[in-house]
Chains A and B, each alone.
Chain A
Amino acid sequence: MKDLSPLFEPRGVIVAGASTHPGKFGFVALHNILRSGYAGEVFAVNRDGGEILGRDALTSIDDVPAGTADLLFACTPASANADLLRACAAKGVRAAFITSGGYAESGETGRAAERALVELADGLDMVLAGPNGQGVVSTPASLCAQIVAPYPPPGRIAIASQSGNFVSSFQNYAVQTGVGVSRAVSAGNAAALTVPDLLDWYARDPATDVALAYVEGLTDGRAFFERIRRSTPEQPLVLLKGGATSGGQRAAASHTGALASDDLVFDGMCRQAGITRAGSVEEAFEAAATFATQPLPRGPGVAVVTTAGGWGVVTADAVVRTGLELVELPADLLAAIDDKLPPRWSRNNPIDLAGGETRDTIPEVLQLVAGHPAVDAVVYLGLGIQSNQARLMRTGRFYPDHGLERIVAYHERQDARFALAAAEASAATGKPVLSATELAVADPENPGPRTVRETGRLCYASANRAVVALAHLWRYARWRAAR
């Protein structure tokens, strides 16, 4: 396994091709590194010198003190990179991220240049990321060496992608949801450092709980399979594959061959290796965010707790559709909930409180349900309703008079309590408890979803999305338990 610590935990960073023009990558990269609070030394280098972002640029790598930087971040033209690598190696630099284009993506000359660059880096014993990549993020080091935004909040998801834009997409979801990222690399042309190399390292990275990857083609599928299946028992991998439907059916002597579209074989490979395959970008992120923030379910039994009937019904459908099971409520749990609610509650799963709840009912029911041994996971719906009304009151002309100030504060306090109660029920029982409401996107500042974010968990934008994510966790848990 390649040692990628100089890439993710560098002592210092050299930005080569640093530009004085705020529209150029060489400026943006330096800006992003300095802005995000990286604590190591940062050297801006360009041929012409000058002042960039309040610091004097060095005109040569020769001016960088030896042993002070581990990482080269190159925004230089391809033609300059060979000399740059040699000069950096002489200063003790052990990793290079090359953003430059003009390599394999640009034709035969570029392919030859890329091969030469890889050989050179090998000879210099340097980790080579890119070329033609967008950058590397490492939140434990407060490092945002990227030519694009955003810088995600810190967290336990590590991202590896063949497409830089998907790194941005995943990180944008991290910003939106508050479920953060440990490491992220856009592998670009992946000339030397590949997505599987990154996944190998992530699997042993103490800062990472789950890997999230985007791949299109694989150069050696069998090797990928053999490597990944070694790490999936230790660390889940959520994979989004591009080109899922492109594999045409090949002419073959056998029916087996005719039925073997690329995607079906790929899908079987994923199931065999314990890879969590997602069908869309948001599904991939949400699965990873769920692995990162919820315990694995010990079984398929789901209890749905809802304050309204229709939501529960639709969620029950989703539970069954995804291969999870609706727990049949045991008599002792029924009796315990009976004690908390007027008789009109559903007395069935989904547990529809039917508007019978008073101040403490939701936290108490969540605790009872999550704590029951028959229940493996809870989906909680109805968070934020009270605060939504509070918002309407707070922003209207009657506020704060007529008792509105007091009731608004009460509603908002209650939703915050409910969100905390869900997190506490999960922490106390070691079971996943997922809160879902469209208010997570419709009004992210609603105290319900906002408090879910503050607990470090994902507030799902719909019950269906929560159930899909939960089903991914259960499938992985079952896979791991069987092996």
Chain B
Amino acid sequence: MSTLSEAESKRRLARVGVPVVADAVCATPADTVEAARSLGFPVAIKLTGDAVTHKTERGLVRLAVADGDAVLAAAVELLDAARPEDGDVALLVAPMVRGTRELIAGLHTDPQFGRCVMVGIGGVLAEAIADVSFRLAPISAIDAADMIDDLRAQRLLGALRGEPPVDRDALAGVLLGLSALAEAEPEVVSVDVNPLIVVDGRPVAVDALVELE
């Protein structure tokens, strides 16, 4: 099994209609500064590569980097943190996406039922909360709506802290996109869209990891 880089993972998702945050992949700290300037501050910077996983756990993500000097410093540090087993690496820079609510969505290959689509409440406590719902791919629009209805934390999906309610059709669209990805690409064994941040009510994939057979 192999994984795709964050940038490539997001490209695959964008192809099936999942909204993803814009990004740029840069080879050098100088390029990263330039990309950050054109995307607009503050930015997130991450070390990226096909073999790089568990970025947060390894400290390979810098958030809310505010200006060019800070971008330069962060870029140098992240490249230094690369290990030989990471293979080819680069720096991924993306504008910071702000939203109170984080969701998670994905594809999972179950040994009994094959590939299934998932949606859930995201964030650092996602696994402890385990408020998630699954359906077997492919799913219908009704299935996608039912999955969202299944979540226990329905109040989290309503209007919250001055933000509008989560656009359920847009969220269902993400799930249908994942289902379409499963149908179109049989070699995809799992997809992790995490976090899927809700911005002005609409979900945007901020990080993604596609795993291939």
Contacts and interface: CB of A to CB of B under 8 A. Distances in A.
B126 A259 contact: yes
Given A225-B136, A265-B112, A483-B142, A259 B118 contact: yes
A396 B133 CA distance: 58
A259 B114 CA distance: 15
Given A222-B112, A265-B112, A256 B192 contact: yes
A417 to B, nearest CB: 41
A256 B107 contact: yes
Contacts of A242: none
Given A259-B127, A260-B118, A272-B139, A253 B132 contact: no
B141 to A, nearest CB: 10
Contacts of B147: 268
Interface residues of A, number: 26
Name the residue among A220, A252, A267 with the largest chain B CB count within 10 angstroms. Answer: A252
A246 interface: no
A272 B110 CA distance: 16
B211 A218 contact: no
* B contacts with A: majority SS: strand
Contacts of B136: 222, 225, 268-269, 272
A254 interface: yes
A260 B211 contact: no
A254 B113 contact: no
Contacts of A256: 104-108, 118, 190-192, 194
Contacts of A266: 112-113
B191 A254 contact: yes
Contacts of A220: 112
B53 A253 contact: yes
Interface in A245-265: 252-262, 264-265
B112 A262 contact: yes
Nearest to B208: A254
B130 interface: yes
A285 B81 CA distance: 60
Contacts of B114: 221-222
Nearest to B147: A268
Contacts of B171: none
A364 to B, nearest CB: 38
B173 interface: no
| Chain B residues touching A, range | 35 or more
A257 B190 contact: yes
Nearest to B112: A221
A406 interface: no
Contacts of B191: 254, 256
A413 interface: no
Contacts of A257: 108, 190, 192
Interface in B66-96: none
B195 to A, nearest CB: 10
B135 A260 contact: no
A260 B127 contact: no
A200 to B, nearest CB: 19
A482 interface: yes
Question: Top 7 nearest A-B pairs by Cβ distance?
Answer: A256-B106, A221-B112, A268-B134, A254-B192, A221-B113, A260-B108, A256-B108
Given A253-B1, A258-B127, 13 more contacts: A221-B112, A253-B190, A253-B209, A256-B191, A259-B132, A268-B150, A269-B116, A269-B134, A269-B135, A271-B135, A272-B135, A272-B139, A272-B143
